[in-house]
Amino acid sequence: MPSRYATCLGALLCLLIACSEACHGQDQSNLWHAVTWENDFIADDDSGYTNGIGYSWGYQGFGSMRRSPLPDWLKLIGSPLPAYNDPTKQHAISYRVAQAMFTPADIDVEELIVEDRPYAGLLLWRASTHHFDHQLSQRYGLTLGVVGPASGAEQVQNAIHQLIGVNQAEGWDHQLANELVFALSTEQLRRMHQGNLSQKIEYDWILAGRADAGTLHSELGMGLGFRFGRNLDSSFAGAGIMPTRNPNPMTWSLRREWHTFINLYASYVFNDITLDGNTFKDSHAVTLIHEQLFVVLGFSYSEQNWGTTLSIQDGSNSFEEADENGLFASFTYDWHW
């Protein structure tokens, strides 16, 4: 690994440690952790987004962001944002470290496959603030990371394939080059309607808007979600129109809660480094399809100090040159201390 990228990753690691250390003095009853695994095994196809792993942690239940352990430099960035200083809302912060890998359909070919997406690995860190009540949830995020060999995606995929006894991918020599990436994001969710299907079963409709901007990914999107289950107020703060993309186990309380959800999400994607290729170097790339559509079906359950979410996502093609598998499953387990 080139020394400059080792230095950058070291700096990123120091930032993560600093954020973690800032949390140590907080009330442990409001601390949560979560692990997420995403994989396309359900489609029996390694094309597209083939695997992702992530670890998240954070604090919830602040009446004011002044009480949060957010580092000063992030408070400086976040303080002008809408709802950041709203005294009528609850507030929370979260951090996430994740790795993701993308491959073409035929991973047995060693040569460059011009008509399919590039091999790409991502190693990302994200900090987010959350501001919510029972009707409106507003989230803002900053993502920093690296694409390329420094992500370690090749080694992780080969280790997994060796463990389960399948062929290793042969084309990683053509993956995108090392490049630092960033993205700013916001997601706004509003409960448009809520009611009861029976004495114990509730339902609600959620309208969502999302915007991302950065060298990693830029898009504008809107979505509609339908949930039914028990104690939906408890989980609204952690609901997401694309939970497979941004797992968020944060809950309003620790009451027993379950719900099934189905979401539709449409977006206009301006850029995606995993398809467009490197920003500042010549690299393999394909033709991005800007208009994209996704459907997500899932189930979530939480009780006392733990919870789990299982979801399945399918989507339209994201590039023109070839049909792509957009089907994958996501599993998240979270626990509260």
* Number of Cβ atoms within 10 Å of the Cβ of 305: 12
DSSP state of 63: S
Q: Number of C-alpha atoms within 13 angstroms, CB side, residue 175?
A: 25
d(CA 20, CA 70): 10
Q: What is the pLDDT of residues 181-217, one digit of tens each?
A: 999 999 999 999 999 999 999 999 999 999 999 999 9
- Do the Cβ atoms of 330 and 315 come closer than 8 Å? no
What is the per-residue pLDDT for 44? 59
Cα Rg for the chain, rounded, in angstroms?
A: 20
- Do the Cβ atoms of 317 and 327 come closer than 8 Å? no
- For the record, the structure tokens of 308 come out as 């789990």
What 3 state SS string does 235-279 have? HHHHCCCCCCCCCCCCCCCCCCEEEEEEEEEEEEEEEEHHHHCCC
- For the record, the structure tokens of 138 come out as 């507003």
Q: What's the start-to-end Cα distance of the chain, in Å? A: 38
CA torsion, ordered 232, 56, 60, 231, to nearest 10 deg = 10
Sign of the four-CA dihedral 212, 173, 123, 264: positive
- β-pairing, 202-213 with 136-147? unpaired
d(CA 180, CA 6): 11
What is the per-residue pLDDT for 203? 98
Per the CATH hierarchy, to which homologous superfamily does domain 3-336 belong? Outer membrane protein (2.40.128.140)
- For the record, the structure tokens of 232 come out as 């939906």
Q: What is the pLDDT of residues 21-65, one digit of tens each?
A: 455 454 555 788 999 988 866 555 555 777 889 999 988 878 888
What is the per-residue pLDDT for 211? 97
What is the per-residue pLDDT for 1? 46
Q: 77-84: long-range contacts (C-beta < 8 A, 24 or more apart)?
A: 77/142, 78/129, 78/140, 81/129, 81/140, 82/138, 83/131, 83/138, 84/129, 84/131, 84/140
Q: What is the pLDDT along the chain (337 residues), one digit of tens a residue?
A: 444 554 555 555 555 545 554 554 545 557 889 999 888 665 555 557 778 899 999 888 788 888 888 888 888 988 998 889 899 999 999 999 999 999 998 889 999 999 999 999 999 999 999 999 999 999 999 999 999 999 999 999 988 888 878 888 899 999 999 999 999 999 999 999 999 999 999 999 999 999 999 999 999 999 999 999 999 988 898 888 886 666 666 655 556 889 999 999 999 999 999 999 999 999 999 999 999 999 999 999 988 788 899 999 999 999 999 777 678 888 999 887 6
pTM: 0.90
The SS3 call for residue 3 is: helix
In sequence order, what are the beta bridge partners of 138?
Answer: 131, 188
Q: Give the residue extent of every domain in the chain.
A: 3-336
What is the per-residue pLDDT for 3? 46
What is the per-residue pLDDT for 27? 52
Ramachandran bin of 310, using left for φ above 0, alpha for ψ from -120 to 50, beta for the remaining angles: beta
